[in-house]
Structure 1
Amino acid sequence: MSKVNWGVLSTAMIGQEQVIPAIQRSSNGEVVAIASRGEKAISVAEKLDIPTAYTSYEELLADPNIDAVYIPLPNSLHKEWVLEAAKKGKHVLCEKTAGLDYDELKEMIDACVHHGVTFMEAFMYQFHPQHAKVKELITSGAIGDVSFMRASFSYLLTDESNIRLDRSLGGGALYDIGCYTIHSICNILNDQPTDVYANARIPEKFNVDTTVAGVLSFENDIQASFDCSFDVTPRQTYQVVGSQGTIEVVGPYRPDANESGEGFIRVVKSNGETEEYSVAGDQYKLQVEHFVDSVIEKKQPSYTNEKMLNHMKVMDAAFHSIETGKSIKLS
């Protein structure tokens, strides 16, 4: 196998605007089918030049020509369709957040292992080379000893009918964008926190978190803070603070939203010196190519099952902290 044939479950905009075009740009994959509940897949297939449209997810999963599926359904539907895809022998790239909690994600991973298919949660941002550059700068001692990190992601959500505000569909700011802030902290620091504290704004009319702020504590005395929100102006940034300077990444999660389309890194040292780096990278294309390479080479992606489960442990702890008002210790 040198190429993978993809099917897409749902006509979600993230698929139409980002992931399907990325697969079509990739060197090792092709989108051959898309499915919806009803007729919408037909018009989307025509618009995006996809050969086959199905009016049910079951029909797509029964297609023997499809090797892998991309699932951008609402969070609450991920488990059901990951399990169904695994049963049909399809490799699965599932949009984040893959599971609503650790137990859901573990069941999904176990099913994929049992059926011998590759599974990965679609945290596309981590495949952008700007983050490797940040790690390189930290390792080189560019900012001395790291003691603090902060990550923020927000946008103003005014459409009250948006599924991100529907609790039954796995809505909320922490699932939607806060997951990136937590993920990036653990990714850049290459560590798991020992303690998690979070609080949230939960409007009664939605009963989901629309703003969350929290703190992660690590064994090596590094502290980190994260925040996410549907209630404020768009922001996406993270900063790594050391004894001799600060690294700031502007647009770490969606650098394609920047005017230049590049990741931008600024290093400010204690002596006032400043270094700036622009880092180009097609993170959606890099993600799908890495996933397909893992399928072809029959190995786990670099974002391993263990890493996915570790991330979900932190997410669970943040939700538990919001519910109890207490700091949660991770074992």
Structure 2
Amino acid sequence: MNPVRWGVLSTAKIGRERVIPAMQQSQLCDIRGIASRDPTKARKAADELGIKNSYDSYEELIADPEIEAVYNPLPNHLHVPWSIRAAEAGKHVLCEKPIAMTASEARDLITTRDKCGVLIEEAFMPRHHPQWKKVRALLNGGKIGEVRAVQAAFSYHNVDPMDVRNQVKIGGGGLYDIGSYCITLTRYAFECAPSRVCAIIDYDPTYETDRLTGAIMDFGGGRQASFLCGTQMARYQGLVIFGTKSWLRVDCPFAMPGDWRARIEIGANIYPGAPVGETEEFEATDQYMLQGEDFSSRLRTRTVGDFPLEDAVLNMEVIDAIFQSGKSHSWETVGNNR
């Protein structure tokens, strides 16, 4: 199978430090070019990463017939506009999360995908890690009984005014950045979307971004999930799934270095406390590499993945409802603006 020829829109830190080096490990990913509005930055990044071509503009990259697929790690407010432009130029697109600023914007991508006949997907790398595929198998096999609840948390401390995550006008804030992980992997556990949400959101008085968000999600039939995400708190990540027979804890559910040995713990279901009954460890693997490889493989084989754009729209509908609930201080229906 011939490798896919990739171009990268921007010299964003996540691309330079995590995604590009990981994708370069795959035989299915050939990173051919990187673009920046600053030619010096583009050439510097290309030289440091061993990339053949640098481009002085995003337009130049997506016009290059040598490029087959585009990775888009631009600031959140540019995800949809540049993904659409790339698709209209005939490029397949892997776009960083969140796929859009609203569910309505995400639906525009579906329209573009269908019109242009290209592959467009949202980059949520944890779903490609073997630990999450094992979680799905354990849940479907009844290992912890019927899934009744999920609790998740993701936080870090960042007060840098120059960081895009602290700039509200371009899509900064914790819910977009890390709350989106809690939502998508909770939905992964339940294999459906919540029907309604209720949230409390604390906004930074200077940056106007959400710095602490807590939400409850109603999955019907008494099933529920709760999560919190914070950008001015101690660094933490964790996710626990509670069933009728036991519980399952994902040690490092969201972001991890490529050399990290992931671990799943299953409760012993005995008193007192919450002792672990079983533990499963996984060989170190880079989930960014797996993500790029999966996208490239499906592009070549023309197969549909487990997480098409329709799934990204569902995630954005939950985010929309959480933001609305933070304003209304009441339960909000998910997908109310369809």
| TM-score greater than 0.5 by the shorter chain | yes
Letter in 2 for 1:313: E
% identical equivalent positions:
37
- C-alpha contact 1:256 1:262 (8 A) present in aligned 2: no
Deviations 1:69-101 (A, max 9, x none): 001000011111111101110000001111100
Q: Determine the structure 2 residue equivalent to 1:324.
A: 328
Q: CA RMSD in A?
A: 1.4
Using a 3 Å threshold, how does the CA distance of structure 1 residues 273 and 72 change in structure 2: closer, same or farther? closer
Pairwise mapping of residues 134-283 of structure 1 onto structure 2 (< 5 A)? 134-256=135-257, 261-271=260-270, 274-280=277-283, 281-283=285-287
Q: Give the SS at the match of 1:193.
A: coil
Q: Determine the structure 1 residue equivalent to 2:62.
A: 61
TM-score w.r.t. the length of structure 1 is 0.96
- C-alpha contact 2:3 2:30 (8 A) present in aligned 1: yes
- Partners of 2:169 and 2:296 lie apart in 1 by 32
Q: Which ranges in structure 2 are unaligned for 5 or more consecutive residues? A: none
Q: Determine the structure 2 residue equivalent to 1:290.
A: 294
Q: Determine the structure 2 residue equivalent to 1:305.
A: 309
Q: Does 1:44 align with 2:45?
A: yes
Total equivalences in the alignment: 329
- Partners of 1:304 and 1:49 lie apart in 2 by 31
- C-alpha contact 2:268 2:276 (8 A) present in aligned 1: yes
Deviations 1:243-292 (A, max 9, x none): 222111111111327xx602111111213561111123321111111111
Q: Does 1:12 align with 2:15?
A: no
Pairwise mapping of residues 24-173 of structure 1 onto structure 2 (< 5 A)? 24-39=24-39, 40-173=41-174
Please list every run of at least 4 consecutive aligned residues from structure 1 whose deviation after the TM superposition is greater than 6 angstroms. none
TM-score w.r.t. the length of structure 2 is 0.94
Using a 3 Å threshold, how does the CA distance of structure 1 residues 273 and 173 change in structure 2: closer, same or farther? closer
- Partners of 2:306 and 2:246 lie apart in 1 by 30
Using a 3 Å threshold, how does the CA distance of structure 1 residues 74 and 273 change in structure 2: closer, same or farther? closer
Q: Which ranges in structure 1 are unaligned for 5 or more consecutive residues? A: none
Letter in 2 for 1:125: P
- C-alpha contact 2:122 2:309 (8 A) present in aligned 1: no
- C-alpha contact 2:79 2:95 (8 A) present in aligned 1: yes
Q: CA deviation at 1:138?
A: 2.0
Letter in 1 for 2:192: D
- Partners of 2:160 and 2:170 lie apart in 1 by 16
- Partners of 1:110 and 1:274 lie apart in 2 by 48
- C-alpha contact 2:158 2:232 (8 A) present in aligned 1: yes
- Partners of 1:142 and 1:187 lie apart in 2 by 16
Using a 3 Å threshold, how does the CA distance of structure 1 residues 16 and 273 change in structure 2: closer, same or farther? closer
- Partners of 1:321 and 1:299 lie apart in 2 by 38
- Partners of 2:281 and 2:118 lie apart in 1 by 37
- Partners of 1:23 and 1:180 lie apart in 2 by 21
Q: CA deviation at 1:222?
A: 0.8
Q: CA deviation at 1:33?
A: 0.5
